[in-house]
Amino acid sequence: MTRLFFLFLFLFSLVSYSQTLNLNNPLFENNLRRAQLNGDINSEISFTLRPLDLNNYDVDKNVFNYNEYAPTILSFFKGIGKLKILPVDFNINYSSHHPYNRNNGSMITNAGYQQLLSAGLYFELGPLSIQLKPENIYAENKDYDGFWKGHYDVIWERRYIQWNRIDIPERFGETAYKKTTFGQSSIRFNYKALSLGISSENIWWGPSIRNGVMMSNNAQGFNHITFNTRRPIKTAIGNFEFQLVTGRLEPSGFDPPSTDRTYAGTKLFVPKINQNSITGDWRFFQGYSFTYSPKWISGLHLGLIRWTQMYGALFEGKYWWITQDPRFEGTSIGWFPIFSNFLRKNDKIQPYEQETDQAAAGFFRWVWEDSKAEIYGEFNHNDSKFNFRDLLSDSDHSRAVTLGIRKLFDSKKDNSQFEFHWEWTQLEQTASRLVRNAGSWYIHGRVYHGYTNNGEVMGAGIGPGSNSQYFSISKLSENQRLGGALEIIDQDNDFYYIAFGDSGDFRRYWKDFNFHLFYEKKFKNFWGSFNLMYSRSLNYQWELLNDPALPYYHPGRDVNNFHIDFKLTYPIQF
């Protein structure tokens, strides 16, 4: 019995641990990514599958002190078992006029004040790791000027064409919003480079920094089962990383504004009822991300992403009008629909496929260590192609694109550096829509909640039909960063063309010019980041001043908005 016990401990000692870096505080991750450009950490880290598991990477303590970030407060079984205390995270944001919501996890689309508080513990024993890091959210949820009530009824009707197909409420109710979630928590079994478990953590797939089109932390993390690598698997031809996720997406429970509106005698608001007459049904989600890093090209990472979602009733076989059809007797959607029917020509049960929402993407990231630079990109489709000929001949149909460059420049005066970063994202439909309308990204004609969780888009924070250009310049010195950025957003051009295309009114484009000032610094044991943004919105909510005395091309309603974002992380020391 004693021998078995020590054999058990020996086997446990061969198993590496699994603790992730909080995705909702990007300060640490961005520091690591810059360190990679400087050659301070290995280029084999792709940064395309996040959150990172730092236990499984060889990172110098001068770059990131893991024991300082999450110190061990209890060790047992000769170090095989450990209890660590996780940092306290306190995030605050404030929007003066209307919401500005980007990549903040459980925090909601909110006008006014909002805060998130999180702390937790991490436990490991051999292959078992348990991370408990709940999040408490409070949002003032102030009323604000949303979609203009003065728009004609036909414009409201066209707005509801989209609102009835996606769950993105303007407000989360009419009172202050309070919620506690599991946050960044997980229970995992780990062996070497592999991990299997359940988690509520946020996930980011792909190399993008500002707008992750396929998966980002723009929405609250969802409960899921995950099977993934925790570090690259090395082979004779290069390194491989992957994650397979199966999860449950939830509705917000809140409606769009003015649900009593009518047009031509018809009520515009349609409750989100699935094809089995269930209101507010949960959604089955499954997706994977796969990254290959060729052995012969240093710093290059290539990957694929695919996801699919459907209402829970469809997954559970409750769509009786399909299951009772003799043509489909003995068939089902299966446990792993993500691996079936990449192309529509292979559809075996067409009614099933029509009821599912899916998307696929290819991406790359290339680190040029000698130039202290990286370039990355994503090419995404939100609709399956009929066959490869269709993919080649109409590649613009339903596509979204992100491209980005980051470059570090050494200062000639001291040890500081300057950083330039540019990222461009286009979600707006291309000219292909004129003969083959794909619908906006994240919106779906049968999965009426769209690609959302708890009322927020799970992909790019700019939202459906929008485009973004982001330019930033900053100065980097020891443990601090100071800089500014210009962000230009085309707000939902897809809706603009639907609403005003018939009239040929080219005056109403809603465009935001966002000017950022940011500062990041380590103060003793505190890590803090502060971002002040001033936004000038031209033609806010596509509103045009209705004054016959003005010339035809005259200004619309332009508004100012100030947004403050403050993040503080305190690694507790003993």
Q: What is the pLDDT of residues 47-98, one digit of tens each?
A: 999 999 877 777 777 778 888 888 999 998 888 899 999 999 999 999 999 9
Structure confidence at residue 401 as a pLDDT band (50, 70, 90): very high
Query: Nearest-CA neighbor of 19 among 181, 190, 219?
Result: 190
Q: Would you give the DSSP letter of residue 265?
A: T
205-234 mean pLDDT: 97
554: left (phi over 0), alpha (psi -120 to 50) or beta: beta
Q: Would you give the DSSP letter of residue 434?
A: G
Instruction: Report the pLDDT value the prediction gives residue 343, as an integer from 0 to 100.
Output: 67
255-277 mean pLDDT: 91
Structure confidence at residue 119 as a pLDDT band (50, 70, 90): very high
Between strands 480-490 and 467-477, the pairing is antiparallel
Q: What are the residues facing 410 on neighbouring strands?
A: 417
pLDDT mean across residues, the chain = 90
Render pLDDT for 121-174 as a digit per residue (tens, 0 to 9): 999 999 999 999 999 999 999 999 999 999 999 999 999 999 999 999 999 999
CA dihedral (249, 252, 253, 258) positive or negative: negative
557-561 long-range contacts, Cβ below 8 Å, gap at least 24?
A: 557/148, 559/97, 559/98, 559/145, 560/96, 560/97, 560/534, 560/535, 560/536, 561/95, 561/96, 561/97, 561/98, 561/100, 561/534, 561/535, 561/537
525-530 mean pLDDT: 94
pLDDT, greater one: 172 or 523: 172
Q: How far is CA 68 from the centre of its chain?
A: 28
Would you identify the CATH topology of the domain 2-570? Porin (2.40.160)
pLDDT, greater one: 454 or 354: 454
Q: CA 417, CA 475: separation in Å to the nearest integer?
A: 6
Averaging pLDDT over each range in 169-173, 270-274, 275-279, which range is the top one?
169-173
250: left (phi over 0), alpha (psi -120 to 50) or beta: beta
Structure confidence at residue 11 as a pLDDT band (50, 70, 90): very low
